[in-house]
Amino acid sequence: MFDRILIANRGEIACRIIRTCRRLGVQTVAVYSDADADALHVAMADQTVRLGPAPVADSYLRGDLIIRAALDTGAQAIHPGYGFLSENPDFVDAVTAAGLVFIGPSADAIRKMGLKDAAKALMAQAGVPVVPGYLGADQDADVLAQEAGGIGYPVLIKAVAGGGGKGMRLVERAADFAEALESARAEARTAFGNAGVLIEKYIERPRHIEVQVFGDGHDAVHLFERDCSLQRRHQKVIEEAPAPGMTDAMRAAMGDAAVRAARAIGYAGAGTIEFIVDASRGLRTDGFWFMEMNTRLQVEHPVTEAITGVDLVEWQLIVAAGGRLPLTQDQLTITGHAFEARLYAEDVPAGFLPATGTLAHLAFPDTARIDSGVTTGAEISPWYDPMIAKVTVHGPDRATALARLRQALDATQVAGTVTNLGFLQRLAADADFAAGQMDTGLIGRTPALTQAAVPTPAQCAHAALIAAGLDWPTPWQGFALWQPISRNVTLLQGEEPHIVTLTPMAGGWDARVGDCTVRLQHDAQGWRADGVRLPPAMRHGDAVTLFGAGPLTFGIPDPLDRKAAGAGGDAVLAPMPGLVAQVAVAVGQVVVAGERMVVLEAMKMEHVLRAPRDGTVATVAVTPGDQVKAGAALVTLEADEAGTAR
């Protein structure tokens, strides 16, 4: 075994590799970019080496700097993780030439499997079923169109150098082929520097089932299958092992094909053979085809670890250090069922748009395995993959494991960035998924999964309580003799305002939300809304996040927001989107603090916006009848007498 290895990666996978190394007594060297100086993988490693600025081309893809760092720190081997340099054969050659060990397959194996067309040809030769299609070198657009017609629509155009679902286009009819080819080629050229494509028969309502293989250069075994059919835009969302509905015959057929594929290239290390499966008539041994091989550890490897009890990173280290496979095929068994959900900083209703932000809060239940590279306070930067964590659960059977996944997702708390957590919760509760009736199109044809959640009146009431700073016990005690005073709280869900009117009651508040009234009451156990206990929640900056099932974040507009005004109390901002009903001031007018300036109409109510301080009106940006967005500067004052921007 090695004494010290360098990890040429970041985030959750770097942390995960460090954890196994610690258990085995192997020292670790982390590398990092300037954006990651405070990252968890850097804090966890025994030694650290800075690579360069944030862009990957200047840091995590600088093979030369990484090799030098390994030599300088006395590391004997380099683990590439996944992504970045993990499937780059030239890097493997350079590592080997420097006298270091690459923890992964040979450059030759990566080259053979690197391009999808060459890999498919090789697999067909080895007797592995491949998806019917065109793999030719002739890339003339007319030839490709003709081949597509021969295969029969629908077809899939794939970048031969593709990965991560990029450079792939589904074409339903001949008339759309030329345009789809153009855009697939353009995307492939930008993403992979290779515009070559292949054409495949598009399998309708397919399942993605892949087999984990492991080789030591002498022998190869498989560690059963993973079902990754829950995908959005050809990217995996929730994965599980084993595959629901898998029969012994199908498992044996797929396992054999996968091991044959690994043996055909004398494979050493962890790899995944991805198959597309026609499940329209159940799982049948003549209904699966090789798609591609990933010559690395896979993102979803934890589900395989959960059902086999094998630490795949430990096996990678053993094999790279020259050892043989620790277990034979007969010694490998499946125990129970496992799911993994990928938690991302992304805006699902906006089309899975990657998001950024500083994590004001991050907490997970201790009932799940959590693979994460971030903690509270960390920044999800625009530079890298926006993954926050992988949540993996295990149970004795599929139903129990799925119930544990739902529980774990409901108990996951993230504040400070938009996430896909609500989407994952809805997906984990989907009836077809629960029944094992899924295919790769499930998410795409179920809009309710991806739409923005509509807050319930109880959630609005809860958020208003926190936004108004009234979430302490029995706020009205001692004031019962006076006339109750109501207050309005505006909450923003994106641009959309929700106005909640809180009226004090004995032991709590009545919250009016539209036509509903929610009774908020405090007892020894905490707050309840109409008798139902409220989930954990927090205020962070100008936002409130409610955790639990159906998590939500509301913005809190501040009409006198000094930060947003930029010039410190010099602007009157729209606290919510609305219609300007009246403008009471003009440029040059001298006003006193509290003087009425603009009247805004929103949610059928009038909101009077007042001068934040004494001063002279510098600009008036609106006239009556204007529609304004939340946060828009409506009127600004001249800088105050000290002339300083506060």
In the complex, which residues of this chain contact Mg ion (CB under 5 A)?
274
Distance between CA atoms of residues 170 and 193, nearest Å: 21
Distance between CA atoms of residues 461 and 457, nearest Å: 6
Q: Which residue is nearest to ligand ADP (CB)?
A: 83
Q: Output 299 or 617, the one with its CB closest to ligand ADP.
A: 299
Query: What are the φ/ψ torsions at residue 357 (nearest 5 degrees)?
Result: 155, 170
Q: Output 239 or 274, the one with its CB closest to Mg ion.
A: 274
Count of residues near ligand ADP by CB under 6 A: 32
Q: Output 28 or 298, the one with its CB closest to Mg ion.
A: 298
Interface pick for ligand ADP out of 299, 489, 543, 611 (rule CB under 6 A)? 299
Name the minimum Å distance from CB 478 to ligand ADP.
54
Name the minimum Å distance from CB 292 to Mg ion.
5
Site for ligand ADP, residues 60 to 89, rule: CB under 6 A: 82-83
The answer to the question of residue 354 lying near ligand ADP (CB under 6 A) is no
The answer to the question of residue 225 lying near ligand ADP (CB under 6 A) is no
Catalytic residue among 169, 296, 369, 404: 296
Please name the helix (run of DSSP H) or strand (run of DSSP E) that holds residue 602, with its range, or none.
strand 596-602
Distance between CA atoms of residues 333 and 398, nearest Å: 16
- Binding partner of 298, given Mg ion, ligand ADP, none, CB within 5-8 angstroms per partner class: ligand ADP
Distance between CA atoms of residues 508 and 476, nearest Å: 7
Per CB under 6 A, which region of 41-49, 203-211, 574-582, 600-608 contacts ligand ADP?
A: 203-211
Interface pick for ligand ADP out of 216, 225, 292, 371 (rule CB under 6 A)? 292
- Binding partner of 510, given ligand ADP, Mg ion, none, CB within 5-8 angstroms per partner class: none
Name the minimum Å distance from CB 226 to Mg ion.
12
E-strand stretches of 193-315: 197-201, 206-216, 220-232, 235-241, 268-278, 288-294
Query: Distances in Å between the alpha carbon of 593 and those of 78, 336, 609, 610?
Result: 65, 68, 11, 7
The answer to the question of residue 440 lying near ligand ADP (CB under 6 A) is yes
Name the minimum Å distance from CB 624 to Mg ion.
57
Q: Output 410 or 430, the one with its CB closest to ligand ADP.
A: 430
- Binding partner of 185, given Mg ion, ligand ADP, none, CB within 5-8 angstroms per partner class: none
Q: Output 439 or 570, the one with its CB closest to ligand ADP.
A: 439
Site string for ligand ADP, 147-186 (x = CB under 6 A): ---------x-x---xxxx---------------------
Q: Output 362 or 442, the one with its CB closest to Mg ion.
A: 442
- Binding partner of 410, given Mg ion, ligand ADP, none, CB within 5-8 angstroms per partner class: none
Q: Output 41 or 166, the one with its CB closest to Mg ion.
A: 166
CB-based contacts of 146, cutoff 8 Å, min separation 6: none
Distance between CA atoms of residues 468 and 119, nearest Å: 61
Q: Output 158 or 522, the one with its CB closest to Mg ion.
A: 158
- Binding partner of 150, given ligand ADP, Mg ion, none, CB within 5-8 angstroms per partner class: none
Tokens standing for residue 582: 């009246």
Paired with 221 in beta bridges are: 214
Cα Rg for the chain, rounded, in angstroms? 29
Tokens standing for residue 265: 């290239």
The answer to the question of residue 236 lying near ligand ADP (CB under 6 A) is yes
The answer to the question of residue 196 lying near ligand ADP (CB under 6 A) is no
168: helix, coil or strand?
strand
* Contact by Cβ (8 Å): 304, 212: yes
What are the start-end ranges of the H helices in 522-608?
562-565
Q: Alpha-carbon dihedral of residues 34, 40, 45, 47, nearest 10 degrees? A: 20
Q: Output 173 or 563, the one with its CB closest to ligand ADP.
A: 173
Tokens standing for residue 617: 């009106």
Instruction: Tell me the CA end-to-end span of the chain in Å, nearest whole number.
Output: 60
Q: Output 231 or 413, the one with its CB closest to Mg ion.
A: 231
Name the minimum Å distance from CB 129 to ligand ADP.
12
Name the minimum Å distance from CB 146 to ligand ADP.
19
Query: What are the φ/ψ torsions at residue 556 (nearest 5 degrees)?
Result: -115, 110
* Nearest Cα residue to 76 out of 327, 320, 338: 320
User: b or e along 323-342 (b: 16 or more beta carbons within 10 Å of the residue's beta carbon)?
Assistant: eebbeeeeebebeebbbbbb
**Sign of the alpha-carbon dihedral angle for 291, 296, 302, 304:** positive
Distance between CA atoms of residues 471 and 464, nearest Å: 9
Distance between CA atoms of residues 560 and 580, nearest Å: 17
Type of residue numbered 337: H
Name the minimum Å distance from CB 274 to Mg ion.
5
Name the minimum Å distance from CB 500 to ligand ADP.
38
Name the minimum Å distance from CB 543 to ligand ADP.
26
What are the start-end ranges of the H helices in 294-351?
301-308, 312-320
* Nearest Cα residue to 145 out of 199, 87, 104, 106: 199
The answer to the question of residue 276 lying near ligand ADP (CB under 6 A) is yes
Distance of CA 267 to the CA centre of its chain: 31
The answer to the question of residue 208 lying near ligand ADP (CB under 6 A) is yes
The answer to the question of residue 569 lying near ligand ADP (CB under 6 A) is no
Per CB under 6 A, which region of 199-207, 475-483, 527-535, 590-598 contacts ligand ADP?
A: 199-207
Name the minimum Å distance from CB 511 to Mg ion.
49
The answer to the question of residue 234 lying near ligand ADP (CB under 6 A) is yes
Per CB under 6 A, which region of 68-76, 234-242, 263-271, 407-415 contacts ligand ADP?
A: 234-242
The answer to the question of residue 275 lying near ligand ADP (CB under 6 A) is no
Query: What are the φ/ψ torsions at residue 149 (nearest 5 degrees)?
Result: -60, -40
Name the minimum Å distance from CB 239 to ligand ADP.
8
445 in catalytic set: no
The answer to the question of residue 410 lying near ligand ADP (CB under 6 A) is no
Please name the helix (run of DSSP H) or strand (run of DSSP E) that holds residue 13, with its range, or none.
helix 11-24
The answer to the question of residue 206 lying near ligand ADP (CB under 6 A) is yes
Length of the chain: 646
Instruction: Transcribe 76-114 into DSSP letters.
Output: -EEE--SSTTTT-HHHHHHHHHTT-EESS--HHHHHHHH
Site for ligand ADP, residues 376 to 395, rule: CB under 6 A: 385, 387
Name the residues annotated as catalytic.
Answer: 296
Interacting residues toward ligand ADP by CB under 6 A: 11, 13, 82-83, 131, 156, 158, 162-165, 200-203, 206, 208, 231, 234-236, 274, 276, 291-292, 294, 298-300, 385, 387, 440
